[in-house]
Amino acid sequence: MIDALKGTVTPKDWAFVGAVLFITLFLMSMFMLFIRSGQEGRLEDLAGEIEELEANVEYARETRDNIEDLREETAQIQALVDEFERRLPARREIPQLMGEFEALARDVGVDVELAQLSRVRDVRKETIPYSVTAYGDFHQIVNFINRLERFERYLKISELDISEQLQGICEAEFTLSTYRFLESPQAGG
């Protein structure tokens, strides 16, 4: 190699240059193979993450732009839920309900006899049926049934049978069902 500095190149010098070039090419290929390919995989992962983040940002912008509409919709839904819960409360209020039912009958001049039937449960609600026999003139009974239909609680009248009016008195027999929500275990009840 000292000869190369003096101006003459020997086969040893060419072998040295070839070895240096070979090592350089080897190191570059190892760099490309291991480091760069690993970095390219990481870049692809980052590009995927960037796409996902951009989609999340776009969704957040849309939500921000529509937040007032969403709040209004949420308020409407909450009002519906509150009204529904008011008409089908989760807690037992049957004694109070029966008192209101009997007061409604007295208001229209109808005498009633109530007999509770077997309750029926499903996953979300309990149906509480009563056998009702009402006595009064035809118009009083119809008025009573109309008021039951407009009652603040959800009531279902089924199996209605009104007898012929004799001496100013009719007998109406029907099943009156009311409902209550069952507390779900997740609700902490």
In this prediction, residues 21-33 reach a mean pLDDT of 85
Q: Are residues 30 and 94 in the same domain?
A: no
Report the SS3 class of residue 61: helix
**CA dist., res. 130 & res. 94, Å (int):** 11
Residue 160 domain-assigned (yes or no): yes
- The chain-wide mean pLDDT, for the chain, equals 83
Q: Are residues 137 and 56 in the same domain?
A: no
Q: How many CB atoms sit inside 10 A of residue 176's CB?
A: 23
Q: Are residues 38 and 108 in the same domain?
A: no
Q: Are residues 100 and 172 in the same domain?
A: yes
DSSP state of 165: P
Q: What is the pLDDT of residue 111?
A: 93
Cβ contacts of residue 153 below 8 Å, gap of 6+? Answer: 87, 88, 97, 178
Chosen domain end from 11, 28, 63: 63
**CA dist., res. 150 & res. 12, Å (int):** 111
Q: Which of 37-46, 70-79, 110-119 has the lowest mean pLDDT?
A: 37-46
Residue 23, domain extent:
2-63
Nearest to 109 by CA among 133, 136, 139: 136
Instruction: Report pLDDT digits (tens) over 117-151.
Output: 998 888 888 888 999 999 999 999 999 999 988 88
Q: Are residues 49 and 99 in the same domain?
A: no
Q: Are residues 96 and 181 in the same domain?
A: yes
Q: Is the pLDDT of residue 10 over 60?
A: yes
Question: Looking at the 3D structure of the chain, how many domains does it have?
Answer: 2
Residue 80 domain-assigned (yes or no): no
Burial letters 76-96, b for 16+ CB under 10 A, else e? eeeeeeeeeeeeeeeeeeeee
Residue 114 domain-assigned (yes or no): yes
Residue 13 domain-assigned (yes or no): yes
Q: Is the pLDDT of residue 16 over 60?
A: yes
Q: Are residues 181 and 114 in the same domain?
A: yes
| CATH number of the domain within which 105 lies | 3.30.70.60
Q: What is the pLDDT of residue 187?
A: 47
Residue 174 domain-assigned (yes or no): yes
Chosen domain end from 46, 63, 80: 63
Q: Are residues 102 and 164 in the same domain?
A: yes
Residue 27 domain-assigned (yes or no): yes
Residue 39 domain-assigned (yes or no): yes
Residue 74 domain-assigned (yes or no): no
Q: Is the pLDDT of residue 189 over 70?
A: no
Q: Is the pLDDT of residue 171 over 90?
A: yes
